[in-house]
Structure 1
Amino acid sequence: MRFQGYRIVVTGAGRGFGRSLAIELGRDGAELFLAARDFQAAEAVAETVRHLGGRAHAFECDLADPESVRDFAATLGEVADRIDVLVNNGAPYLDAGGFLEADDAQVAATIGAGATGTVLVTKTLLPLLLRSDRPDIVTMVSGCGEYGNHRSEAHEAFYAAKAAQAGFTEVLSKRLRPKGVRVISLYPPDFDNPDPLGPDWDAERGSGDALSARSVVDCVRFAIGQPRDCFIKSFYFEQV
């Protein structure tokens, strides 16, 4: 198995792309530490990975709550003496139908989880990453974090969170490279996310139409599977 022996943390793992990535990395032999705001959602994905023969642990982590992030890191540190890969996937999507339609709480939660939460979870887990001889930080920024992008229907608060992620990962890449930590950012446009356990997962791959989650998963696999002298900082995707 390609990632046998790897310990990989995935945030936002209870649904959507986080779930798809977790299932595929579990099939690749990685030991997974899956975090989600809803513990039961994370546990359901962990159970799916176990049913497929993989190893997975579930944790509760609300990225919009700094105390929850600290508790997650502390609990993780009790069961793992190192992690090899952190995938910053958790960031709530917001489409409130217009800039003025979202209330203040929605705006604060979107930016707090996607921006502050990403910074804090990276900060709190960095000591465990530095104990690995192959540490990678992968952040699912999305095309909304790409300068000049305006094609998504996402709310402006989501754009703000993703722009913050882009700036954070840019400087983090430069500052952590001397420590041997690779910081990898992905900027996909909106993409299809079929069930990785369903028939459409393989059928949609390479169809030439909309980008699929399977292809984005393969980009993550490719990047973390490269030799340590290969630093792939960013993946940008052409939007059709």
Structure 2
Amino acid sequence: MSLQNQTILITGASRGIGKALAITLAKDGANLSLVARNQQELLAVKQEAEALGAQVAIFAGSVADESFVKSVVAETAQKFGKIDALVNNAGFGVFKQATEISTSEWDSIFETNVKGTFLFCREAVPLMKNAGKGHIINIASDVAKRVFDGGSLYCASKYAQDAFSMALRKEVRKDKIKVSVVYSGVVDTHFHKREEGNPYQAKYLSSKDMANTIYFILSAPEHVVIDELMIHPISQEY
């Protein structure tokens, strides 16, 4: 199914997976609402997407800021008349032994990875209900299904994001709103200590791999929902 003229809101859209997805969708004629903290990086993505013919709105701010999230959703709906899909992609990690994690680190991770997902879903769902359809894709991680030494904080946030997504799916399915969760393995992005493109990460998934996967989920026929999708590079054990 073509996504031409579909309005898709993406968080964490200034680089990595979010940027790759924005460009992929722009090539298919989607309208884009892009959210991230860095205004300059967002402007660069906007210019690239507009050069491909897309209509683009950008919003710089924190996904954990309730008033910001409300304004983003309201202004997106006003500009494009609708929100067909929401992709909650913003997130980051802190990896330490549990006894070394500070309260501020705990709060920061949960505010972005969990609260941000909740806030955007809460504001977008009523619009989708009124439209009689919609699609929410939450970008989680394979650590929403497993844990590892040094990952207590990040794993906990992704388990929480996943649990929220599963419950939301049951709430809104009757309203013809799809809720999909993508569980990815390692991806060659700025998320890691090494910069994107570092030879060490050559066998990781690329941002383009992830963008193509999310596009596949978004472009499924209206009667089809991919509830969950686990994706890894062949080099990574699970």
User: What's the TM-score bracket when you normalise by the shorter of the two chains?
Assistant: 0.7 to 0.9
- 1:2 maps onto 2:2 in alignment: yes
Query: In the TM superposition, what is the alpha-carbon distance from 1:52 to its structure 2 partner?
Result: 2.8
Counterparts of 1:1-240 in structure 2 under 5 Å?
2-95=2-95, 97-132=96-131, 134-146=133-145, 148-150=146-148, 155-193=151-189, 209-238=203-232, 239-240=236-237
CA deviation vs aligned residue, 1:103-134 (integer Å, no higher than 9, x gap): 32222111111111111111011122234454
TM-score, normalised by the number of residues in structure 2: 0.84
Alignment RMSD (CA, Å): 2.5
Question: Structure 1 residues 61, 121: CA separation in 2 closer, same or farther (over 3 Å shift)?
Answer: farther
Larger mean CA deviation between 127-136 and 51-60 belongs to: 127-136
**Distance in 2 separating the partners of 1:193 and 1:24:** 17
CA deviation vs aligned residue, 1:180-210 (integer Å, no higher than 9, x gap): 011010001111249xxxxx99xxxxx9x43
Point out where structure 1 has 5 or more consecutive residues left out of the alignment.
195-199, 202-206
**Distance in 2 separating the partners of 1:38 and 1:94:** 20
Query: In the TM superposition, what is the alpha-carbon distance from 1:46 to its structure 2 partner?
Result: 1.2
* 1:223/1:232 contact within 8 Å kept: yes
**What is the letter of the counterpart of residue 217 of structure 1?**
A
CA deviation vs aligned residue, 1:57-100 (integer Å, no higher than 9, x gap): 101231222222223223323323211110010112323x4434
* 1:184/1:234 contact within 8 Å kept: yes
* 2:77/2:83 contact within 8 Å kept: no
Question: Structure 1 residues 218, 133: CA separation in 2 closer, same or farther (over 3 Å shift)?
Answer: farther
**Distance in 2 separating the partners of 1:135 and 1:141:** 19
**Distance in 1 separating the partners of 2:6 and 2:16:** 22
Q: Report the count of equivalent residues.
A: 225
Point out where structure 2 has 5 or more consecutive residues left out of the alignment.
191-195
**Distance in 2 separating the partners of 1:122 and 1:89:** 12
Greater RCO (Cα-Cα under 8 Å, separation 6 or more): 2
| Identity score, percent | 27
**What is the letter of the counterpart of residue 217 of structure 2?**
A
**Distance in 2 separating the partners of 1:120 and 1:60:** 16
Larger mean CA deviation between 218-227 and 130-139 belongs to: 130-139
TM-score, normalised by the number of residues in structure 1: 0.84
**Distance in 2 separating the partners of 1:51 and 1:226:** 26
